[in-house]
Amino acid sequence: MKTLNHHQLLYDSDCPMCAFYADRMVKHHLISADGKTPYGSCTSPLVDMNRARNEIALIDYDSNTVIYGLDSWLFILTTAFPRLRSLLYSRQVQFLGKRLYNFISYNRKVIAAGKNPETAGSCVPDFNLKYRLVYILFAWLVVSLVVSGYSRFFITYIGSGFWGRECLINGGQLLFQWPIVYAINKKQLVHYWGNQMTVALIGALLLLPGLIIGQFIPLPTSILLIHFGSVIFYMLLLHLKRTKILGLGLTPTFSWCVYRVLILILLLNLK
């Protein structure tokens, strides 16, 4: 496997996901130990810094050229694994890969929230409404599917959980938060929606082990409730963290909790 020794990968150090894959590339010798540089530390005149916010830049110091985005990933992978070249550069992979790359890149700040608020000069991607709405829709559908399956464990208490009901509940949460977040900072509304759905998606993924095990082994309701409650508590902490980063304060988290309590009361009374 060949390591890139005369290249520099420019990555978003404020993005946990970006920092993770950059570290893995070094660890697995895809790039050299000094082959990654945080966006804010780049001084190379070769790089289009505006484009590099949206598409990761790979600087080639042998030819003094720069490639961006999916091309950077493919170059690194095919250098390390030449036999993958014909597959990775096929028309189908290029078509799907470009869209997947954009989907992740334009949403990375709501998928993996950094520790600090975004500031001028930081590696913040351009806002792309199309990809943000696609992400919100994707998370909405996945969360509704998982939660509808998990809610069947509590059919005695809240009635039969079906996918359409959970879609309405999750969509209702977005609408419920709309005027509250809009009143605080309307510019953050769509960013908040993205973060809200990421919190819900993380919660759904944490419910999956219980959902899968419960399909094969009858689990006590008490265990399932503890599991569900623990996930909700963790989601609450994530919601608090992300609204703090967005500068929205405690109000959206309070209203988020109020909505969930109201839905629980409604389900208990409609059973």
Q: Which residues contact 250 (CB under 8 A, 6 or more apart)?
A: 240, 243
pLDDT, tens digit (0-9, with 9 covering 90-100), for 178-210: 999 999 999 999 999 999 999 999 999 999 999
Residue 5 to residue 79: CA distance in whole angstroms: 11
pLDDT at 117: 59
Spatial strand order in the sheet of 7-11: 36-38, 7-11, 57-60, 65-68
In a domain, 173, yes or no: yes
**Do residues 229 and 100 both lie within one domain?**
no
- Give the pLDDT score at 271: 60
Strands 65-68 and 7-11: what pairing?
A: unpaired
Q: Where do the H-state alpha helices sit in 65-154?
A: 70-80, 85-88, 91-111, 129-151
**Residue 2 domain-assigned (yes or no):** no
Q: Which of 79, 110, 141 is the last residue of a domain?
A: 110
Range(s) of the domain holding residue 237: 127-270
Q: What is the pTM of this model?
A: 0.90
Q: Name beta bridge partners: 67.
A: 58
> Does residue 195 sit in the same domain as residue 261?
yes
Pairing of strands 7-11, 36-38: parallel
The pLDDT, as a whole number, for residue 270 is 73
Q: Measuring CA to CA, how many Å separate 157 from each of 144, 160, 161, 212, 264?
A: 19, 9, 11, 21, 10
Which pLDDT belongs to residue 89?
92
Q: Are residues 103 and 133 in the same domain?
A: no
> Do 138 and 103 fall within a single domain?
no
Residues 158 and 263 placed together within one structural domain of the fold: yes
Do 86 and 195 reside in the same domain of the chain?
no
Which pLDDT value is given to residue 160? Answer: 67
Residue 119: its pLDDT value, please? 61
Query: Is 148 found in the same domain as 91?
Result: no
Are 102 and 148 members of one domain? no
Q: Do residues 96 and 225 both lie within one domain? A: no
* Dihedral over alpha carbons 254, 256, 259, 260 (to 10 degrees): -110
pLDDT of residue 56: 92
- Low pLDDT (below 70) residues in the chain: 1, 115-121, 159-161, 271
In this structure, is residue 167 part of a structural domain?
yes
